[in-house]
């Protein structure tokens, strides 16, 4: 019998890609009666909430639950600049912890955290569940120039060297291996999501979460056989 899984993320002003995000979720090769969704719409000013509610109305009988919460915390919008991101990391930690509380209410075996700009492949979830790790991620490129000179330069995994977190550039290919930090798309077990919290860190809330997890004795892995697409920019018709 397959474990139960909650899937979701905090989401803000994503009407330009939310349908693609949800379509990728619909195509996951995993029993739908074992899946639920949790979305925290935060400070959104576009039609993201309406689109999620429309999707819920259409698919609510296929999944265990589709839980959507809308909050307005007055946070500035993430513009992907380094200065702005440093200012909003505390807010991101808050909304991610609010989402974890939504997951705790449903109490699934796993929580599959997938950022709102990530498109998962059909086998991503089933493969991560099969790995049976407390925390395990797929690979996501964070570099807009992924097809140029350094195809693996910036990915969503980091290792700690000389007391500093650095992007893992020469990671093993087609393998499952241990890392110090991951983000964007990762599966976490019930013992993790019920005990570990996000905090502020100058490099981001994922750094703090992973540090807290490792300090609590959890190991963090990445499965480089699994690749998910990162939508770096809004494309509007």
- Looking up tokens 């929580």, which residue turns up? 111
Phi, psi at residue 95, to the nearest 5°?
-70, -35
Quick one: pLDDT at residue 131? 98
147: DSSP letter: T
106: DSSP letter: H
Quick one: pLDDT at residue 149? 47
Quick one: pLDDT at residue 50? 98
Quick one: pLDDT at residue 144? 52
d(CA 148, CA 153): 10
- Looking up tokens 């979830």, which residue turns up? 125
Q: Can you list the alpha helix ranges (DSSP code H) found in 107-188?
A: 124-131
| Full-model pTM | 0.92
Going 173 to 175 to 180 to 184, the CA torsion angle's sign is positive
d(CA 133, CA 187): 8
Q: How far from 92 is each of 68, 133, 160, 185, 227, CA to CA, in Å?
A: 17, 25, 22, 16, 24
Q: Which tokens sit at 94?
A: 């808050």
Q: Can you list the alpha helix ranges (DSSP code H) found in 60-180?
A: 82-106, 124-131
Quick one: pLDDT at residue 237? 39
Asked: is 5-230 a CATH 3.90.550.10 domain? The reply is: yes
Could you read off the pLDDT tens digit of each residue along the chain, which spans 237 residues?
A: 899 999 999 999 999 999 999 999 999 999 999 999 999 999 999 999 999 999 999 999 999 999 999 999 887 676 655 555 666 778 899 999 999 999 999 999 999 999 999 999 999 999 999 999 999 999 998 755 444 444 556 899 999 999 999 999 899 999 999 999 999 999 999 999 999 999 999 889 999 999 999 999 999 999 999 999 998 765 543
Tell me which residue of 44, 38, 21 sits closest to 97, measured CA to CA.
Answer: 38
Chain-centre distance for alpha carbon 129: 15
Quick one: pLDDT at residue 89? 78
Q: Which tokens sit at 217?
A: 């004795």
Quick one: pLDDT at residue 79? 60
Domain ranges within the chain, ordered by starting residue = 5-230
């Amino acid at each position: 019998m397959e474990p139960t899984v909650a899937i979701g993320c905090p989401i803000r002003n994503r009407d330009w890609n939310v349908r693609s995000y949800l379509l990728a979720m619909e195509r996951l090769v995993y029993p739908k009666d074992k899946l639920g969704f949790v979305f925290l719409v935060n400070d959104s000013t576009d039609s993201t909430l309406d689109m999620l509610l429309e999707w819920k109305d259409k698919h609510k009988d296929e999944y265990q639950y589709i839980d959507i919460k809308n909050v307005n915390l007055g946070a500035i919008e993430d513009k992907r600049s380094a200065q702005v991101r440093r200012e909003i990391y505390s807010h991101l930690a808050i909304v991610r912890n609010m989402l974890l509380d939504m997951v705790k209410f449903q109490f699934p075996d796993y929580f599959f955290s997938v950022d709102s700009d990530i498109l998962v492949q059909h086998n991503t979830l089933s493969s991560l569940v099969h790995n049976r790790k407390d925390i395990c991620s797929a690979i996501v490129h964070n570099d807009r120039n992924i097809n140029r000179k350094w195809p693996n330069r910036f990915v969503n995994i980091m290792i700690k060297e000389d007391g500093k977190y650095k992007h893992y550039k020469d990671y093993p290919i087609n393998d499952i291996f241990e890392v110090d930090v991951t983000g964007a798309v990762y599966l976490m077990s019930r013992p993790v999501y019920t005990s570990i919290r996000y905090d502020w860190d100058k490099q981001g809330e994922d750094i703090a979460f992973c540090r807290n997890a490792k300090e609590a004795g959890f190991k963090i892995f990445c499965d480089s056989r699994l690749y998910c697409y990162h939508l770096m920019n809004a494309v509007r018709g």
